[in-house]
Amino acid sequence: MAIGPRLDLRQSQSLVMTPQLQQAIKLLALSNLEIETFIGDALDANPLLELGDGVPVEAAVVDETEPRRTTLESSPVDQLIGEGKAEDDRPLDVDRSALDLDRDTGDGEWGAELRFASGGEDGPGIDERAASAATLAEHLHMQIGAATRDPRMAFIARHLADQLDEAGYLPVPLREVAAELGVDVDEAEQALALVQTLDPTGVGARSLGECLALQAKEADRYDPCMARLLDNLELLGKGELPRLKRMCGVDDEDFADMLSELRGYDPKPGLRFASGGGEPVTPDILITARSDGGWDVSLNQATLPRLIVNRSYYVEMKGSLDDKEARGWLSDKLADANWLIKALDQRARTILKVASEIVKQQDQFFRHGVSQLRPMTLRAVAEAIEMHESTVSRVTSNKYLACERGTFELKYFFTSGVGAVDGEGGASASAVKAAIKALIDAEDPKAILSDDTLVDLLKEKGFDLARRTVAKYREAIGLGSSVQRRRQKAIAGAR
């Protein structure tokens, strides 16, 4: 065999990610309102496009008796969207790699969950929230009158409450507040200490460390080791965990437990309250019940304009153009218009396919409420409809679903699970939170339930959770500790 340079001809096939294909995939992550803006820009840039009535995408029918259709069309767009191909295949979710998963629940979120719900047992309506939700300052003012009988101290405390920012922190030095009111700094300190005893725990803090320390004290977890951890949060932010562990003087297990406890605290407790007129959420997907017990899943056509190509204008322009370059530009605009219409149509069908599978897997939620919400992952939906996990992630980003129970973000239906007492299956974290809320709402003001008691009551309902997990979920839904609730209900009873 001769060794030397030579030329070989080889033929191969490859699918190239053109700008149009990338655009079609990125459209999946946009909400209907963002699509409106995108379409407006496209109308300005392409003279062949115009708005038309068009025929809306047919609603998907979710019926357990109907065989599941998962066959994708064979066009390059459909294949790429189904496979999740884009610049990369990573889901567009928040990067959770920086958060260690909780050992009991697999949930690594900090603080309260942001959920949009309306109506029924699942929460107040969106219109009610905008109209009646109290601001942080109003919430604190309602507590100050019952917390002290000293009118001077109450006056200073109310002034401090008005100075807090949206997150619940005091952004101005206490000396400035004292000078402004003409009181001693000691009096201002006492008033601030009063504010820091109010609900939610952590308000009135002057730093993140102080905010978390207040919550640790409330949870009876503020020991010297936790104090050193909170005094050196900058090391935690830099990732210098070995150094921080040595400073705290604890072993690996205790240090992991401290970090897990810390993640259960709310670094911005004031954000639970309204900061002004909230914008109502416009749903992208509509769910309606059918008479035969199934569900109709459709896109909200009121927020989804339809595009058409003005063929007559194209013919008129083509006949009047003699320049080769101008005719080429017109042909490009026609191709762009046809491509965009097809991409928008494919986006609509993909959203309907994903939403239909979500409704199918969470059927009991739509029938019975949040107590029947089951654990579900992006992967489970992706495998059921034979699409890539990153495609499902894009579809569920910035999208809202409206049903008889209210309006929910699609991400709401993807929840971690907790273990069941009998060892079979599991329950959604949201269902556990609903059970905790129901128990606390029904508790006797004279017999406030501790977290340990909640653990036992939840075990009777089939949920196997640790005490600190119950405390974490309780705080996530904005409910105080047993000490806080006893104080609040005593105040309410006195009125």
pLDDT tens string, the chain, 495 residues long: the values are 567 788 878 887 766 667 777 777 788 888 877 888 888 888 988 888 888 764 455 556 665 444 333 333 444 445 554 555 443 433 333 333 332 333 333 333 333 333 333 334 444 444 444 444 578 888 888 888 777 888 888 888 888 888 888 888 998 888 888 888 888 888 889 989 998 888 888 899 988 889 988 988 888 888 888 888 888 888 887 778 888 888 888 888 888 888 888 888 888 888 877 554 445 678 889 999 888 888 999 988 887 778 888 888 888 888 887 788 888 888 898 988 898 888 888 888 999 999 999 999 888 888 887 767 778 888 889 999 988 888 888 888 888 899 888 888 888 888 765 555 444 445 667 777 888 888 888 888 888 888 888 888 888 877 777 888 888 888 877 788 888 888 777 766 655
Asked whether residue 183 is domain-assigned, the answer is: yes
Q: How many helices (H) and strands (E) does the chain have?
A: 22, 9
Asked whether residue 125 is domain-assigned, the answer is: no
266, 310: one domain: no
- In this prediction, residue 275 carries a pLDDT of 54
Asked whether residue 158 is domain-assigned, the answer is: yes
- In this prediction, residue 272 carries a pLDDT of 79
DSSP state of 56: P
Full domain range(s) for residue 437: 417-494
Task: Please give, one letter per residue, the 3-state secondary structure of 147-203.
Answer: HCCCHHHHHHHHHHHHHCCCCCECCCCHHHHHHHHCCCHHHHHHHHHHHCCCCCCCC
State how far the Cα of 257 lies from the Cα of 478, in Å rounded to an integer: 22
- Best CA proximity match to 432, nearest among 104, 62, 130, 211: 104
Question: Final residue of a domain: which of 246, 273, 300?
Answer: 273
What the block records as the tokens of 245 is: 């562990």
- In this prediction, residue 91 carries a pLDDT of 35
Burial of 232 (0-12, 13-18, 19+ CB in 10 A): middle
204, 300: one domain: no
400, 424: one domain: no
Distances (CA, A) of 343 to 78, 211, 397: 9, 48, 18
DSSP state of 120: G
What the block records as the tokens of 488 is: 């609040």
Asked whether residue 90 is domain-assigned, the answer is: no
User: Is 408 within 8 Å of 286 (Cβ atoms)?
Assistant: no
333, 409: one domain: yes
State how far the Cα of 490 lies from the Cα of 477, in Å rounded to an integer: 21
269, 140: one domain: yes
Question: Final residue of a domain: which of 273, 298, 325?
Answer: 273
408, 449: one domain: no
Asked whether residue 430 is domain-assigned, the answer is: yes
State how far the Cα of 168 lies from the Cα of 205, in Å rounded to an integer: 7
152, 194: one domain: yes
24, 51: one domain: yes
- CA 457: distance to chain centroid? 29
What the block records as the tokens of 201 is: 């725990």
407, 457: one domain: no
454, 324: one domain: no
- In this prediction, residue 2 carries a pLDDT of 65
Asked whether residue 104 is domain-assigned, the answer is: no
Distances (CA, A) of 118 to 8, 115, 343: 66, 10, 32
Asked whether residue 241 is domain-assigned, the answer is: yes
What are the strands, taking DSSP E only, across 305-378?
306-309
What the block records as the tokens of 167 is: 């997150």
Asked whether residue 235 is domain-assigned, the answer is: yes
Measured in degrees and rounded to the nearest 5, phi and psi for residue 473 equal -70, -40
- In this prediction, residue 273 carries a pLDDT of 77
The total domain count for the chain is: 3
- Find tokens 């579809």 and name the residue: 395
- In this prediction, residue 227 carries a pLDDT of 87
215, 291: one domain: no
State how far the Cα of 159 lies from the Cα of 157, in Å rounded to an integer: 5
221, 304: one domain: no
Residue type, 201: T
Query: What CATH code is carried by the domain that includes residue 448?
Result: 1.10.10.60
Question: Final residue of a domain: which of 273, 305, 335?
Answer: 273
The total of other beta-carbon atoms located within 10 Å of residue 198's CB is: 21
CA dihedral 479, 482, 483, 484 (to 10 degrees): 20
- Find tokens 């409910």 and name the residue: 479
